[in-house]
Amino acid sequence: MKSYSITRRLIATILLVELLAALSISGAAMFYERHVRFRSFDVMLRGRADSLLGAVQDADDEGDNVMLDGTEANLPAEDIYQVQDARGHVLGHSPNWDGPNQALLNTRAGKLLRLSVGGKHYRALRIEGIRVVDPGQKAGGIARHVIIFYGSPVGRVWGEIWEAVGFYAASSLCLLAVSGILIFWLLNRGLAPLRQLAAEAAGVSVNSWNFVPPQRARMIQELAPLTNAIETVLTGLEHAFMQQRRFVGDAAHELKTAVAVLKSSLQLLTLKQRTALEYEHGIERCQLDCERLEETVAKMLTLARTETSTVSPKMAADLADVLRQVSQQFESMAELKHLKIVLLAEEPVWVDVDREQLQLLCSNLLLNALQHSPAGSPIRGVVQQDGTRAELAIEDAGEGIAPEDLPHVFERFYRGDPSRSRNTGGTGLGLAICKAIASRWQGTIEIASNLGAGTKVIVRFPAAVLPSATVKVAVRN
């Protein structure tokens, strides 16, 4: 699709609207001028016809007829007229007209008609009047009916109309040109913050995440949400990109270390001739290293699937029941370490979380507690609901986490004491997976810990709303 300029489109749209407005004004001006000027023209036409009627006088003859007294010569030369009596006798007419046509003869008095004489367009009317001959007589004189046909050319009137319309049109075009220049300047000035914002955003790349939006963009109500959205998106992208880069680096380092350990174990076996028992112990070490490497890769894949897969349809799961089942899986491990798992769940607590991921979350938290708890200490698992929030708490009495390590415990491959990883089998991905699961299902996870006093992990999810009551889960020690 071809690109276009929003500035040019806005200017073209505004100018088009102004042009239509100018044409509308010019059209309205033409109708107004036509009405006013022809109204004045009709008044003038009637006045000239009345003055011509006044020029009809007594002829002072034996028949008591009427005649024109000659004052009609003062009328404009381009006008046409004819005066006749009731018998049709023509008393006088203009030299440029041979008389009215049949339409004008049959028209009623006072009505205006259009006619063409000698190639010119005229506006004509017919009026009737009475002239009294010998008004001093006893009977009050003799009344003579007079009919006058009078017309005047309309070319001059139309010239005045078009002159006025031309003035309106020229004024509108001048105003349109001035307003176009002004609109272009104002739009360029008004869109300058948007251009600056686009330029700043275009400068962002994988190697440069510096984005400083112009202050004017923050002050404009229409651009402030866009500016905040771009900042939020770029901050999230930068964090995700850096996290991914760090994850790739940490994963490469972890895998390289595991492969180097496995390689060194194999090289150690080949340095000299070994007994069958030594070969057997060496192969067992290699097998353990392979299992640890396999566990690391499996957790990396689990974390990647958790962070990138789309949210499944909501299916409520009982958090208390899931914790109970997971704790049963760790009973053997707890007995070997002389630990006791205590679960407190008075009733089912339902959450809209995938059951498999909920099991993975509980497994990682319980495994961490079992790995770092001294023999004979209890591990408490509490499930409860507070209003619209469901809460899972796993608490142990282990060695705790140093304050400087707490901000980093959810980072991938982070271990507060790297020397323990080979003994405990930790990969530094368990809590990162828990964090990803909690975030994916609109939950939160936090850790409170003190050195020598144990650790408490609290996970909160939105509680599910079920249409019917559920069965209570019994308290189990």
Confidence of residue 250 (pLDDT cuts 50, 70, 90): low
pLDDT at 260: 79
pLDDT at 382: 92
Residue 211 and residue 234 in contact, taking contact as beta carbons nearer than 8 Å:
yes
pLDDT tens-digit readout, 39-77: 999 999 999 999 988 888 887 777 778 888 876 668 888
pLDDT tens-digit readout, 329-363: 888 888 888 888 899 876 788 998 888 888 888 98
Q: How far apart (Å, rounded) are the C-alpha atoms in residues 239 and 237?
A: 5
pLDDT tens-digit readout, 188-236: 888 888 888 888 888 888 778 888 888 888 888 888 888 888 888 888 8
Answer yes or no: is pLDDT of 467 > 70: no
pLDDT tens-digit readout, 351-405: 988 888 888 889 889 988 888 888 888 999 999 988 889 999 999 988 888 888 8
Q: What is the mean pLDDT of residues 430-455?
A: 87
Q: How far apart (Å, rounded) are the C-alpha atoms in residues 43 and 33?
A: 15
Q: How far apart (Å, rounded) are the C-alpha atoms in residues 459 and 392?
A: 5
Answer yes or no: is pLDDT of 248 > 80: no
Confidence of residue 312 (pLDDT cuts 50, 70, 90): low
Q: What is the mean pLDDT of the chain?
A: 83
The residue count of the chain comes to 477
The separation between CA 323 and the C-alpha centre of its own chain, rounded to angstroms, equals 46
Closest listed residue to residue 345, CA positions, set 387, 370, 380, 316: 380
The separation between CA 86 and the C-alpha centre of its own chain, rounded to angstroms, equals 81
Confidence of residue 475 (pLDDT cuts 50, 70, 90): very low
Q: How far apart (Å, rounded) are the C-alpha atoms in residues 259 and 294?
A: 11
